[in-house]
């Protein structure tokens, strides 16, 4: 007898089940630092730390120029507040020149036209997300809200499930009735911790493997397949 092999659900099936779609921001919606490199923000954060006689988090060099890695837990409260301020201001500035993800606009509109809720769950500052959505005319479509980084506790950033839990609590939807769409292993881990079904988005084929290694069951390359799947959704 041939053993049964698990077949991950496809994008259309995952979307059809969802009452609320939780979208990561930087990646599935836009390239936040497409016009303003994150390295500039990381430089400003390191310069501030140096002015206080403090070293950057030892993990930061291994992460390249990711400014989020500089929000190391355990720092003095005033230092953390200033680092958060530098990062938030930098993200808000970057939002003005962020590059839209091809097809994201059509996908968001198709999901909303199907009667499903939409929310953003991200490690970015919610103010930066708001700036981008407003300038793109998408702010009214995210009726589920924007749930970004908690400025008071960097430990709550993904891979912790905090922003997903806050989103589900706000919209009153069970984990099983949500779908998280993200592009990073931390998104996969956060969805798993929140017990939310996950759909991986990869900007290009060479980015698929890292999501596979994180045990993302279903991964799509580009937005075209998601747009097509959303366009065929039954209205709720």
Domains by residue range for the chain, with CATH: 11-32+100-231 (3.40.50.1000), 38-95 (no CATH)
Report the pLDDT value the prediction gives residue 73, as an integer from 0 to 100.
Answer: 81
Q: What is the DSSP letter of 10?
A: P
Report the pLDDT value the prediction gives residue 37, as an integer from 0 to 100.
Answer: 86
Report the pLDDT value the prediction gives residue 64, as an integer from 0 to 100.
Answer: 54
- Model confidence, pTM: 0.92
Distance from the first to the final alpha carbon of the chain: 40
Measured CA to CA, the distance from residue 159 to residue 190 in angstroms comes to: 5
Report the pLDDT value the prediction gives residue 3, as an integer from 0 to 100.
Answer: 44
Distance of CA 212 to the CA centre of its chain: 17
Location of structure tokens 């490199």: 37
Report the pLDDT value the prediction gives residue 2, as an integer from 0 to 100.
Answer: 43
Residue 168, φ and ψ in degrees, nearest 5: -65, -35
List per-residue pLDDT tens for the chain, 236 residues long. Answer: 444 444 568 999 999 999 999 999 999 999 999 888 899 999 999 999 999 998 765 444 544 578 998 998 888 999 999 999 999 999 999 999 999 999 999 999 999 999 999 999 999 999 999 999 999 999 999 999 999 999 999 999 999 999 999 999 999 999 999 999 999 999 999 999 999 999 999 999 989 999 999 999 899 999 999 999 999 999 98
Measured CA to CA, the distance from residue 177 to residue 43 in angstroms comes to: 41
Cβ contacts of 53 within 8 Å, gap of 6 or more: none
User: Helical H runs in 76-214?
Assistant: 77-95, 104-113, 126-135, 162-171, 185-194, 208-213
Report the pLDDT value the prediction gives residue 157, as an integer from 0 to 100.
Answer: 97
């Amino acid at each position: 007898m041939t053993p049964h092999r698990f077949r991950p659900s496809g994008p259309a099936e995952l979307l059809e089940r969802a009452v609320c779609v939780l979208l990561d921001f930087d990646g599935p919606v836009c390239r936040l630092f497409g016009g303003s490199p994150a390295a500039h923000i990381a430089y400003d954060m390191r310069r501030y730390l140096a002015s206080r006689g403090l070293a950057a988090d030892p993990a930061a060099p291994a992460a390249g120029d990711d400014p989020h890695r500089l929000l190391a837990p355990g720092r003095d409260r005033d230092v953390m507040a200033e680092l958060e301020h530098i990062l938030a201001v930098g993200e808000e500035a970057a939002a003005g020149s962020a590059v839209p993800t091809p097809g994201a606009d059509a996908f968001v509109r198709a999901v909303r036209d199907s009667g499903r809720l939409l929310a953003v769950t991200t490690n970015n500052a919610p103010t930066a997300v708001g700036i981008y959505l407003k300038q793109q005319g998408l702010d009214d479509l995210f009726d589920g809200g924007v749930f970004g980084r908690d400025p008071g506790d960097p430990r709550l950033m993904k891979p912790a499930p905090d922003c997903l839990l806050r989103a589900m609590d706000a919209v009153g939807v069970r984990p099983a009735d949500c779908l998280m769409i993200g592009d990073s292993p931390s998104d996969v881990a956060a969805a798993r911790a929140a017990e939310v079904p996950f759909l991986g988005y990869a900007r290009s084929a060479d980015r698929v493997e890292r999501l596979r290694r994180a045990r993302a069951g279903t991964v799509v390359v580009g937005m075209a397949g998601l747009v097509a799947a959303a366009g065929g959704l039954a209205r709720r």
